[in-house]
Amino acid sequence: MNPALVGVALAVVVGAVVAGSARNARSAILGLVVTMVAAPVLAEPTPAPLALAARLVGAVLAGYLLWIATRGDRLQTQGSLVGWPTEAFLAIAAAVVGFGSHGLGAPTDGPPLAAAAGFALAVLPVVTGRDILRIGLGLCLLLGGALLVRVSLGGTPDALEELMTAGLVATLGGAVAILAVAARTDGRPGFELSSTTTRRSSHGANAHPRGPR
């Protein structure tokens, strides 16, 4: 087993545990960026330089957009529902399952470590907190997990697929960032979900406005 890949897999999982459990919003985002930057390297052979560069740009862009969305004085999120040690053990257990079931019944072109890290990432969103930012970070982890499982099964994606992956990662980061910013427009500091549902007024609220809102 390639020791460098073991190190990368560890970085991916540790970053994911931080992203899933840190209460400080920017610490969680930092953990996510570590995961997203390291994940593309967790492949054998490593992607072509241009494809890898695209993935790194996508990951950093997603992280940067989330970073902007969490401007403020030590913005807090709900953190983990079960605490970081439990998350870490859960991730390790999932990684063992992923490593052991590598290939899911058939020979593969990818490394088993990608399957281990992918399973670990995919299980963490289950126990993450339930505010807008945490759900968003959990979805980033879930997507990262699915992409790693894909690498473990099908091997290193070609350049076009890496480009599409980079676009998807950046789009997801941007979408979560926009929602996080929108959530704070009511002046409240956190990212809690709204307890009320906005309902369209039945009587002419949408009709004949002055212009697009």
Partner 1 sequence: MSLVVFVVVAFTSAGLALGLRARPMATASLGLVGLVATVLAAVAIDPAQAVVVGHSGLATTSYLRIFLILGSLVGLGLTVAGLAAGTRRDAAAVTLAILGASGLTLGLVDPRAAVLVATAGGLFGVLVTLVPTDGRAGATIGIRETRAVVVAGALAIAATAWFGRDLSQLAAQPVVFGLAYLAFAIAVAIRFGAIPFHLWAARLTDVVPETSLPILMALAPASLAIVALAWTDASVAPLLVDLDPARAIVLAIAIASIVLASVAAFVQDDLEQVLGYSIVGDAGVVILALATLDPEAWAPTRTWILVFIVARSSFAAWTAGIRAGFWTGRVEDLRGWARRSPVLSVAFALVVIASVGFPGLVSFEARTSIVELALDGPMATLVLLGTLAPLAYYGRLLWIGLARPDRILEPIDAWRPRISPPDVTAMRRWLRTTWNANRAFSTASVALLLGVLAVATSAGAFEAPAAAAGLPPSLSIPSEDVAPVASGDLPEPQESSAP
Q: Which residue's entry shows tokens 């406005």?
A: 209
d(CA 213, CA 211): 6
Q: Does 184 bind partner 1 (CB under 8 A)?
A: yes
Q: Which of 23, 54, 104, 116 binds partner 1 (CB under 8 A)?
A: 104
Give Cα separations from 67 to 15, 84, 89, 142, 203 (angstroms): 16, 22, 28, 19, 40
Q: Yes or no: say if 158 and 43 are a contact pair by the CB < 8 Å rule.
A: no
Instruction: Indicate the residue among 87 and 131 with the shorter CB distance to partner 1.
Output: 131
Q: Does 49 bind partner 1 (CB under 8 A)?
A: no
Instruction: Indicate the residue among 73 and 208 with the shorter CB distance to partner 1.
Output: 208
Q: Yes or no: say if 51 and 163 are a contact pair by the CB < 8 Å rule.
A: yes
Q: Which two tokens stand for residue 62?
A: 């997603």
d(CA 50, CA 53): 5
d(CA 27, CA 159): 31
CB of residue 31 to partner 1, shortest distance in Å: 18
Q: Does 197 bind partner 1 (CB under 8 A)?
A: yes
Pattern 109-148, partner 1, x by CB under 8 A: x------------x---------x--xx--x--xx-xxx-
Residue 188 sits at the vertex; the CA angle it makes with 29 and 177, to the nearest 5 degrees, is 30
CB of residue 83 to partner 1, shortest distance in Å: 23
Instruction: Indicate the residue among 3 and 107 with the shorter CB distance to partner 1.
Output: 107
Residues that bind partner 1 (CB under 8 A): 104-109, 122, 132, 135-136, 139, 142-143, 145-147, 149-150, 153-155, 157-161, 164-165, 167-168, 171-172, 175-176, 178-180, 182-186, 188, 192-194, 196-200, 202-209, 211-213
